[in-house]
Amino acid sequence: MPFPDLGKAAQSAIYRAGTFGRRPQVPTDGAALEEAARRSMSRRGFAYVAGSAGSEATARANREAFARWRVVPRMLVDTSERDMGVELFGRRHASPLVVAPIGVLSSAHADADLAVARAARAQEVTPILSTQASVPMEDVAAALEGAGHWYQLYWSSNDELVASLVQRAEACGSEAIVVTLDTAYLGWRPRDLDLGHLPFARGEGIAQYTSDPVFRRLVADRVAAKAQADLEPQPRPTPAAVRTLVSLSRNHPGDTRRNLSAPEPRAAVETFLDVFSRPSLSWADLPRLRELTRLPLVLKGVLHPDDARRAVDEGVDGILVSNHGGRQVDRSVAALDALPGVVDAVRFSGSDMPVLFDSGIRSGADVFVALALGADAVGIGRPHVYGLALAGAAGVAEVLRNLRAELDLTMALTGCRSLADITRDRLVEAPLPH
Ligand SMILES: Cc1cc2nc3c(=O)[nH]c(=O)nc-3n(C[C@H](O)[C@H](O)[C@H](O)COP(=O)(O)O)c2cc1C
């Protein structure tokens, strides 16, 4: 169903509020949005969200890659009716946006994943639920009230845990499993390192694990094994250690007061750090995942055309071109620069599977460029977290609405009635600087 003048409606709402002296709480400009969020977030919270790997050259390259493309508008096309809908994995999506999976949303807002779910539902944008979520997937699915969602999997070193997470995702209605391949280890992230801050070590962002029956059994085993061993002498607690203990106890399921003296919260963090990822993961493992689920499988983090061709050969159902927003490898290729090569590799292999994209989208015009370079849909990452930090669910909804509105206006003003019109020949490369 085409949106009736989405862009114009959003403008009108903002300008009408302006006549009463109200300005948007959530800035419409990407850089202003980030700056407003920085001011409202804790130092650690902002460092975790905004930070990237190493010198952050990859994050900059992601943005610079967009700046190298210019859109060429076409005139005298009747664009009075537009449709930005797209079919993905057998369901019609109202727009080519999905919410990228983001862990530790509690660092931006107490309502965390629940707020994002409500906003995504209101904006008809499919969220990808993270394995590092702050809220168990079943609760997020309930907040979505039947609206579609996908599940992002970090492939644990424990097979039974992988099976359990995938089975839970299926049971709570996920429509696809998005396997993130670029995070066998956490990237080298100076903003977090210099604050000595890893949210998981404080029990944040491990709710999918602490709500999982297999994981809970691993924790119980660890606690039992520890009880057998001689207790090491404990160092005198510092104020920071006490704050960590409180954070661990709060983030662990059950009664916070009881958790303060229980061994499980700390054992859960230690168990998580043990099983989080499987650096040995290879193509040979994919069939096992295929056996675990009938859901479409999407590989997230593909940047090389050969990996894309291999993905086609392995029979996966989709690819998400991404460099994790520059958080994993410093001086990595910009995700947008990798996109056309991956799209060509997939299409020349004869596959019509969806190629999705994220890493660097900050505006509706950016969405347009990524679509023109061959993406079927794009993931919205940091901007929605900034909206969350500023105004909870309403802030996320506003960010998503603004992106859709600007995309709608960009389509209208460039002569595009549907996504099929957004082709590569709509773009030219920017002239090189002198
Ligand atoms: C704070 C933060 C946490 C993230 N957590 C996850 C995650 O749990 N799983 C995952 O696959 N990707 C994760 N990502 C990567 C995003 O899914 C996405 O690839 C990235 O945000 C895109 O870059 P952009 O936000 O700069 O556009 C995270 C990104 C950020 C910024």
252, 324, 384, 434: the catalytic one is 324
Tell whether the model's pLDDT for residue 406 goes beyond 60.
yes
d(CA 121, CA 144) in angstroms, rounded, equals 6
Instruction: Give the model's pLDDT for residue 324.
Output: 98
Place of tokens 């990859």: 58
Tell whether the model's pLDDT for residue 2 goes beyond 80.
no
Q: Ligand 1: distance of its center to the CA of 400 in Å? A: 16
Instruction: Give the model's pLDDT for residue 1.
Output: 47
Q: Is the C-beta atom of 127 inside 6 A of ligand 1?
A: no
Give the chain's mean pLDDT. 96
Ligand 1: which of 60, 151, 327, 332 to mutate, most ligand atoms within 8 Å of CB?
327
Ligand 1: which of 38, 102, 272 to mutate, most ligand atoms within 8 Å of CB?
102
Q: Is the pTM of this model over 0.95?
A: yes
Q: Is the C-beta atom of 383 inside 6 A of ligand 1?
A: no
Alpha carbon 260 to chain centroid, angstroms: 32
Q: Encode pLDDT of 233-255 as tens digits.
A: 666 789 999 999 999 999 999 99
Q: Is the C-beta atom of 324 inside 6 A of ligand 1?
A: yes
Residue 69: strand, helix, or coil:
strand
Q: Is 80 exposed, middle or buried (0-12, 13-18, 19+ CB in 10 A)?
A: exposed
Q: Ligand 1: distance of its center to the CA of 58 in Å? A: 13
Mean pLDDT confidence for 4-15: 95
Q: Encode pLDDT of 183-211 as tens digits.
A: 999 999 999 999 999 999 999 999 999 99
Q: Encode pLDDT of 322-356 as tens digits.
A: 999 999 999 999 999 999 999 999 999 999 999 99
Residue 322 alpha carbon, nearest atom of ligand 1: 19
Contacts of 55 (CB under 8 A, 6+ apart): 330, 331
Q: Is the C-beta atom of 384 inside 6 A of ligand 1?
A: no
Q: Ligand 1: distance of its center to the CA of 189 in Å? A: 13
Tokens standing for residue 205: 């962002």
Mean pLDDT confidence for 37-51: 98
Q: Is the C-beta atom of 45 inside 6 A of ligand 1?
A: no
Instruction: Give the model's pLDDT for residue 43.
Output: 98
d(CA 125, CA 136) in angstroms, rounded, equals 20
Q: Is the C-beta atom of 101 inside 6 A of ligand 1?
A: yes
Residue 358 alpha carbon, nearest atom of ligand 1: 22
User: Based on C-alpha coordinates, what's the Rg of the chain?
Assistant: 22
Q: Ligand 1: distance of its center to the CA of 52 in Å? A: 10
Instruction: Give the model's pLDDT for residue 227.
Output: 83
Percent of the chain topping pLDDT 90: 95
Instruction: Give the model's pLDDT for residue 3.
Output: 53
Q: Ligand 1: distance of its center to the CA of 358 in Å? A: 9
The answer to whether the CB of 71 falls within 8 A of the CB of 410 is yes
**Would you call 324 a catalytic residue per the annotation?**
yes
Q: How many residues are present in the chain?
A: 434
Q: Is the C-beta atom of 174 inside 6 A of ligand 1?
A: no
Residue 107 alpha carbon, nearest atom of ligand 1: 1
Q: Encode pLDDT of 217-230 as tens digits.
A: 999 999 999 887 75
Q: Is the C-beta atom of 112 inside 6 A of ligand 1?
A: no
Q: Is the C-beta atom of 61 inside 6 A of ligand 1?
A: no
d(CA 185, CA 192) in angstroms, rounded, equals 15
Residue 361 alpha carbon, nearest atom of ligand 1: 27
Place of tokens 């479409």: 296
Q: Ligand 1: distance of its center to the CA of 205 in Å? A: 13
The answer to whether the CB of 333 falls within 8 A of the CB of 303 is yes
Mean pLDDT confidence for 98-124: 98
